[in-house]
Amino acid sequence: MANLKEIRNRISSVSSTMQITSAMKMVSAAKLKKAQDAITAMRPYSDKLTELLQSLSATLDEDAGSKFSTQREVNNVLIVAISSNRGLAGAFNSNIIKQTQNLVDNVYAGKNVSVLAIGKKINDAFSKQGIVIDNKSDIYDDLSFNNVAAIAETLMDKFVDGEFDKIEVVYNKFKNAATQIVMTEQFLPIMPIEGSEANVNADYIFEPSKVEIIEELIPKSLKTQLYKGIRDSFASEHGARMTAMHKATDNATELRDQLKLTYNKARQAAITNEILEIVGGAEALNN
C-alpha cells in the first residue's frame, strides 16, 4: 500500500484536475447557449432556401441549367472538412478525421482528392499527407457570414473553373449537447430534388424568369449552406466539450473519493500498528 504522503499528493493532484475540468465545463456551457441559439435560428431558413433552389433546378432544361449544377466526370474532388481548433472535446474531432479519411481511402479511392481544412485539428491530421490545399482555421477568430461567404465564393470559383469536379462538406451536425451527427453533404454540383417538378409547376408566376431567380439564389444558398455547416460544427464543439468535461469531472470526483477512502484506511492501519507496538512493548516490560 502506498504511504500516506503519496496518497495525499494524488488527492491534491486529482482535486486540481477536477477544478480545471469543472471550470471548462461551465465555460463551454455558457458558449453553447449562444451557439445553439444561432444555429437553431438559421437552420429553418437554410433548409427552406436549399429546398426551394433544388426544386426550381429540377424543372429547368439541361441547356438552361446553372453553371453550378454541371455534372462532370469526377476526377478531382475537394473535401471541406470542418473541425475545431482545440481538443478536449471527446470524439468530436476524431469522428471528422475518420470520416474524411474514409472518403479519401474508400469512397474516392483512385481519384485526386484534396482537403480544405477548417480547424487546426483537421489540418494537423492531413497536412502530413500533403493533400491540404488551404487552412482556414482562423475563421473561428471572427465567425461571421461575410467571412464564410468569402470561402464559399472561392469554392464556387474553383468548381466553375474546372479545378474540382465535386466538392463535399464534412461536419458535425448539432442535435443536442450530448449528440453530434457526422454529416457529409455535397456542396457542388447542386443536385436537384427528383420528383419535385409537379410541386413547382403549379400556378406560379416567376418574375423575373425562373432561370434568373435560380442564378440569383444559388450563390446565396451555397454561402448559407457552408455557414450553417460551420455554425453547426461550432455548436457541436461546445456541446461535445461540455459533455466531455462533465464526464471528466465525475470521474475525477469518483477517483478522489476512492483515494480518500484508501488514505483513511492506510491512516487507520498505521494508528493500529502503533497501538499494537506500544501494547507489545508494555507487555515485554511487564514480563
pTM over 0.85: no
* Percent of all residues in the chain with a pLDDT value above 90, rounded to a whole number: 55
* 276 or 74, greater pLDDT: 74
For 107-129, the pLDDT digits (tens) are 999 899 999 999 999 999 999 89
Nearest-CA neighbor of 24 among 88, 119, 93? 88
Domain boundaries, the chain: 4-21+245-279, 32-244
State the pLDDT at residue 57: 64
Residue in the structure block whose three cell numbers are 449544377: 69
The enclosing H or E element of 117 equals strand 112-118
Distances (CA, A) of 30 to 27, 34, 51, 83, 220: 5, 7, 33, 20, 31
Question: Mean pLDDT in the chain?
Answer: 86
Instruction: Report residue 138 CA to chain centroid gap.
Output: 15
Buried b (16+ CB within 10 A) or exposed e, 103-115: bbeeebeeeebbb
Whether the link from the prior residue into 208 is cis, omega within 30° of 0, is yes
Nearest-CA neighbor of 125 among 163, 84, 77, 168? 84
Say which range, 30-34, 46-50, 147-151, 224-228, has the weakest mean pLDDT.
Answer: 46-50
CB 104 within 8 A of CB 131: yes
Residue 227 has pLDDT above 60, yes or no: yes
Which pLDDT band, with edges at 50, 70 and 90, does 274 fall under? confident
Q: Which three cell numbers stand for residue 187?
A: 456542396
Fold of 4-21+245-279: Helix Hairpins (1.10.287)
Q: For residues 121 and 98, give the distance between their C-alpha atoms in angstroms, rounded to a whole number.
A: 12
State the pLDDT at residue 198: 41
Instruction: Report residue 141 CA to chain centroid gap.
Output: 16
Contact residues for 112 (Cβ-Cβ < 8 A; gap 6+): 75, 76, 77
The average pLDDT across 273-280 equals 84
Say which range, 3-7, 33-37, 220-224, 282-286, has the weakest mean pLDDT.
Answer: 282-286
CB 234 within 8 A of CB 35: yes
State the pLDDT at residue 177: 83
Residue 200 has pLDDT above 70, yes or no: no
**Helical H segments across the chain, by residue range:** 4-57, 92-102, 120-127, 145-160, 197-200, 210-286
Nearest-CA neighbor of 119 among 172, 168, 167? 172
**Beta bridge mates, 114:** 78
For 143-194, the pLDDT digits (tens) are 999 999 999 999 999 999 999 999 999 999 998 888 899 999 999 888 766 5
The average pLDDT across 230-256 equals 93
Q: For residues 67 and 82, give the distance between their C-alpha atoms in angstroms, rounded to a whole number.
A: 26
Contact residues for 201 (Cβ-Cβ < 8 A; gap 6+): 59
Instruction: Report residue 47 CA to chain centroid gap.
Output: 19
Query: CATH number of 32-244: 3.90.1200.10, 3.40.1380.10, 3.90.1300.10, 3.40.50.720?
Result: 3.40.1380.10
Q: Is 77 helix (H, G, I), strand (E, B) or coil?
A: strand
